[in-house]
Amino acid sequence: MNKLNTIKMELATNPLEKLVKKHTIIAGPCSVENEEQIHEIAKQLSASNQVDILRGGIWKPRTRPNSFEGIGAPALPWLKSAGKAYNLPVATEIANSLHAEAALKAEIDILWLGARTVVNPFAVQEIADALEGTDIPVLVKNPVNPDLELWIGAIERLHKAGIENIMAIHRGFSATGNSQYRNIPKWDIPIELKRRIPGIKIIVDPSHIAGTRALIPSLSQKALDLDFDGLMIETHHNPDKALSDAKQQVTPEDFKGIIDNLTYRERKNEALNLDDLRETIDDLDKDILDLVIKRMQIVKDIANFKKNHNVTILQSGRWEKMLEDRIGYGEKNDLTEKFVYDFFKAIHAESINKQSKIMND
Ligand code: PEP
Ligand code: MN
C-alpha cells in the first residue's frame, strides 16, 4: 500500500467517449412503465438537445414490497427502441447476473449498479463475472451507507473482470433524523474517491440526493462547481403520476431549464494563474505543521514532568476548557464548531499517544 493509499487503475480516460461531450448528461424516468411512456419521454428529452444518455429503470429495488418493482425484462426492448428512435444510447440498472445477461442480450448500451447492490460484494462479484469479456461501460453508484471502501471495492471487482469503461455515480447516503435531503450528499466522500482512484470520472445524481424537485437545480450547480463529470436527472413527462420516485422527477421541460441555467466554469487550473496563491497555501501548510511539531515538543516536556511527579496524563477539566476556548475563537473567525472540534481532537489524540509512550517507557 502506498502512503496516500491511492489505487492505480487502468481506466478508459473517457469511458463514454463515443457517446458524450465533456460533461455526461443522463436523463430519463426512474422506471420504464410502458412502451408509450418511454418513447414520449425520449422524444421530449431529445428535443431539449441537452441529453447524452437515456436512463430507465427496468428492475427496481424497492424498500417495501407492494411498491411498483419495475416491468422487468419485457421492458428492455421498449427502452432500447426508444433510444434508437431518438438516437440516444440507453442505460439501465442491473442487480444480478440474470439482469446482466438479459440487458446484454437486449443490447443496452450502458449498465449501472445501484446503491443497494453495491453494499453487497457477493452481488457485485456475480455481476462482474457475468460481464467479464464484454466492453460495456458500467456506472457504479455509491453504497447506501457512507463507506468509501465498499464503493472502491465494487469498482475494483468490475475492473478485475476486465471492464475498463467504469464511471462512478454519487447519489448521496442514507440519512437518519431530519435532513432536507433524501440522501445526504457528504461531498467529501466522492472527492476522496477521486483522490483514491486518480482519473475516475464521477457523475452526480441530484435526484436521489434531493428526493424533491426543488433542490435539484442547486445540487446540479454544486456538482459542476466541485468539478464532477456529469449529471443523472430523473425525468418523466408526467412526474406526479410516476409509478416510482414521483416527488423527485422533473418534466423534460424543467430538465432543459435546469441544464440551460447551469454555469459551466473553466475546468482546467492552468487557465487561471493561481500559482501565487497556491504557493502561499503551501507555505502556510508548512507553517501549520511546524507549529504542530513545536506544540508536540512542549507536550513531551509536560509528559516528562507528569512522569516525574506521578500525575495522570489526562486532566479532564483542562481538555473541556481548552476546547471551549478554541471553538469560541474559531467561531468568531468564521470556522465552524465541528471543524475546530475535529481539528483539536486529532491534535489531542496525537498528544495523548505521545504522552502515554513517554510515561510508560
Ligand atoms: C435509481 O437510479 O432509480 C435508483 C434506484 O437509484 P439508487 O440505486 O441510487 O437508489
Ligand atoms: Mn429512482
pLDDT tens digit at each of 361 positions of the chain = 567 788 888 888 888 876 676 799 999 999 999 999 999 999 999 999 999 999 999 999 888 888 899 999 999 999 999 999 999 999 999 999 999 999 999 999 999 999 999 999 999 999 999 999 999 999 999 999 999 999 999 999 999 999 999 999 999 999 888 899 999 999 999 999 999 999 999 999 999 999 999 999 999 999 999 999 999 999 999 999 999 999 999 999 999 999 999 998 877 655 567 788 888 899 999 999 999 999 999 999 998 998 898 888 777 788 889 999 999 999 999 999 999 999 999 999 999 999 889 988 8
Q: Sign of the C-alpha dihedral, residues 113, 187, 337, 355?
A: positive
Nearest atom (ligand 1) to Cα of 171:
9
Q: What does each C-alpha distance from 168 to 4, 163, 193 come to in angstroms?
A: 21, 13, 9
The phi, psi pair for 232, rounded to 5°, reads -120, 115
Query: Which DSSP category does 162 fall into?
Result: T
**Domain spans, the chain:** 24-260, 275-359
Identity at 46, one-letter amino acid code: S
Report the half-sphere exposure of 108 (CA within 13 A, side-chain side): 28
Residue with CA nearest ligand 1 atom 8: 114
> CATH class for domain 275-359?
mainly alpha
Distance of CA 142 from the midpoint of ligand 1 (Å): 10
- Confirm whether 24-260 and 275-359 share one CATH topology: no
Distance from C-alpha of 26 to C-alpha of 223, rounded to nearest angstrom: 14
3-state secondary structure of 61: coil
**pLDDT given for residue 76 in this prediction:** 98
Tell me the CB-side half-sphere exposure of residue 331, using CA atoms within 13 A: 9
Q: Which residues does 130 contact at the CB level (< 8 Å), separation at least 6?
A: 97, 100, 101
Q: In this predicted structure, what is the pLDDT of residue 132?
A: 98
Q: Which of 199, 269, 212, 203 is nearest to 239 (CA)?
A: 212
Give me the phi and psi of 229, to 5 degrees please.
-105, 0
Ligand 1 site-directed mutation target among 90, 139, 141, 182, most atoms within 8 Å of CB: 141
All three cell numbers of 221: 450547480
Looking at residue 70, its amino acid is: G
Residue 244 per-residue DSSP state? S
Q: Which three cell numbers stand for residue 44?
A: 421530449
* Residues β-bridged to residue 110: 91
What is the C-alpha to C-alpha distance for residues 37 and 285, in angstroms, rounded to an integer? Answer: 55
Topology classification of domain 24-260: TIM Barrel (3.20.20)
Q: Pairing relation of β-strands 90-94 and 166-170?
A: unpaired
Name the residue at shortest CA distance from atom 10 of ligand 1. 115
Q: Is the CB–ligand 1 distance for residue 236 below 6 Å?
A: no
Give the pLDDT score at 21.
Answer: 67
**Backbone CA torsion sign across 172, 177, 179, 182:** positive
| Helices assigned H by DSSP within 20-144 | 35-48, 76-85, 97-105, 115-118, 121-131
Q: Is 352 helix (H, G, I), strand (E, B) or coil?
A: helix
The pLDDT value recorded for residue 62 is 87
- Residue whose C-alpha cell is 477521486: 194
Q: How far is the CA of 156 from the centre of ligand 1 (A)?
A: 21
What pLDDT sits at residue 326?
A: 95
Q: Which atom belonging to ligand 1 lies closest to the Cα atom of 61?
A: 5
Whole-number Å distance between alpha carbons of 269 and 333: 29
Which residue has the least CA distance to atom 6 on ligand 1? Answer: 114
Q: Where are the beta strands (DSSP E) in the chain?
A: 24-28, 53-55, 90-94, 110-113, 138-141, 166-170, 173-174, 183-184, 201-204, 230-234
To test the pocket of ligand 1, the residue of 69, 205, 247 to mutate (highest count of ligand atoms within 8 Å of its CB) is 205
Ligand with an atom nearest the CA of residue 94: 1
**Whole-number CA gyration radius for the chain:** 25
Yes or no: say if 205 and 28 are a contact pair by the CB < 8 Å rule. Answer: no
Q: CB neighbours of 166 closer than 8 A, spacing ≥ 6?
A: 11, 12, 15, 137, 138, 139, 140, 155, 158, 159, 200
Say whether 217 sits in a helix, a strand or coil: helix
- Give the number of other CB atoms < 10 A from CB of residue 311: 10
How far is ligand 2, taken at its centre, from the CA of residue 126, in Å?
23
